[in-house]
């Protein structure tokens, strides 16, 4: 019979990598935000750019980070379910 299911340890390792990628994404955004806000630039174009960076780009980064966390949690849940199923046999 062919293998069907998941290696739970590999699933959990991958879930941790996904979660770490979300953390790294957020940290990079925060670093870049410091650079964007630190540019010596005054006027309406600067205000618009910096505002868009914080609200628009920041919002997208938050959504992506949440998605990483959700998928990491989902994968851990599937690994737990695989353990439960495998332990019943």
Q: How far is CA 48 from CA 4, 33, 39, 45, 53, in A?
A: 53, 14, 13, 5, 8
Residues 29, 35, 39, 42, CA torsion sign: positive
Average pLDDT of the residues of the chain:
94
Split at pLDDT 50, 70, 90, the class of 3 is low
Q: pLDDT per residue over 31-74, tens digit each? A: 999 999 999 999 999 999 999 999 999 999 999 999 999 999 99
Domains of the chain: 8-83 (1.10.287)
| Number of other CB atoms surrounding residue 74 within 10 Å | 12
CA angle, 76 as apex, 80 and 70 as ends, to 5°?
140
Please state the pTM of the whole predicted model. Answer: 0.84
Please report, rounded to a whole number, the percentage of residues in the chain having pLDDT higher than 70.
96
Residue 89 is predicted with a pLDDT of 59
pLDDT confidence of residue 4: 74
């Amino acid at each position: 019979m062919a293998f069907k299911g998941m290696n739970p340890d590999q699933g959990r390792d991958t879930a941790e990598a996904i979660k770490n990628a979300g953390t790294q994404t957020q940290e990079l955004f925060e670093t870049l935000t410091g650079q964007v806000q630190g540019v010596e630039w005054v006027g309406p174009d600067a205000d618009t750019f910096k505002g868009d960076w914080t609200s628009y780009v920041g919002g997208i980064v938050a959504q992506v980070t949440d998605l990483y966390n959700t998928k990491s949690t989902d994968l851990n849940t599937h690994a737990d379910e695989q353990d439960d199923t495998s332990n019943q046999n």
